[in-house]
Amino acid sequence: MRETKFIRTLSCLCVVLMACGTAFAQQEKLTSGPFKGSKAPMGNPDNPDAAPFYSNFVVDPCTSCNYSSDNGFLLLGPNNCGIPGATQWLAEPFIAGKTGTTRSVVLAVTNWGICTPTSFKFTVQIYDDACAGVPNNPLGVPVNATAPAAPCLTAQARVAVALTAGVKYWVVVTTSAAASQNGTTAVWWEATTSNEPFNLNDGNGWNTGFLGGPGGFQVQ
């Protein structure tokens, strides 16, 4: 199974979620749509005076959120409550804006909001790049993060990795078989609606995906 599970429009009510899931599985792209529910105020940035290594966060004056909750990609453990049995991991590239050691990665990842997951954690790691269009080797150690309940909140992982200015890296988010992650049903929301290639992994290796908006994140 190597289909793109890209979120675009939510047309199915929760009462027919099971029927919708069956229909989705027959399409090239799985759709779910914008976040439906009460949003949370955006949290304060960690050490806002320090210039990040990379960030695509931009505060929308209309929503006061620094990313969009209209579109995103699903981040799923196999026991997720939205599309049971499906697994999807994601990766986004970035070019380090300075040399140094990171402190954390902040991600526009929250629960999907269409059902109640049995787990909320996922794994974050920075990978290097080998000019092959996919993540290459993991750097440092994998770190757990927790998907908060709703936008405009963010997830944060305390990642310490030495980066070099001008070099391309990847932020990779995955789920594991652990009870704390295999039921995760989350979304990596877009920073913007501009199109760019992305990478996904259904547990069988990384693949260049269809065009979509970049997932919102900051490496600091």
Q: Is residue 183 a contact partner of residue 177, using CB atoms and an 8 Å limit?
A: no
Both structure tokens of 89:
């991991």
Residue 125, strand partner residues: 172
179: in domain: yes
- Specify the number of domains making up the chain: 1
Asked if the structure places residue 118 within a domain, the reply is yes
CA angle 164, 215, 23 (to 5 degrees): 145
| Domain membership flag for residue 9 | no
The one-letter code for the residue type at 36 is: K
Establish if 148 belongs to a structural domain: yes
139 within some domain = yes
Predicted confidence (pLDDT) per residue in 178-218, tens digit = 999 999 999 999 997 777 766 778 878 888 766 777 899 99
Q: Report the distance separating Cα 182 and Cα 17, nearest Å.
A: 20
Main-chain dihedrals φ then ψ at residue 75, nearest 5 degrees: -115, 110
Within its chain, how far is the Cα of 96 from the centroid?
19
The answer to the question of residue 6 being in a domain is no
Q: Identify the pLDDT of residue 166.
A: 98
111 occurs within a structural domain: yes
Instruction: Report pTM.
Output: 0.81
Q: Structural domain of residue 84, as residue ranges?
A: 34-219
Determine, yes or no, domain membership for 213: yes
Do 198 and 73 touch, CB atoms closer than 8 A?
yes
Give the chain's mean pLDDT: 82
Q: List pLDDT tens digits, range 15-42.
A: 333 333 333 332 233 434 566 666 666 6
Question: Under a CB-based contact definition with an 8 Å cutoff, are residues 159 and 104 in contact?
Answer: yes
Phi, psi dihedral angles at 149 (to 5 degrees): -70, -35
Strand 168-174 to 121-129 pairing: antiparallel
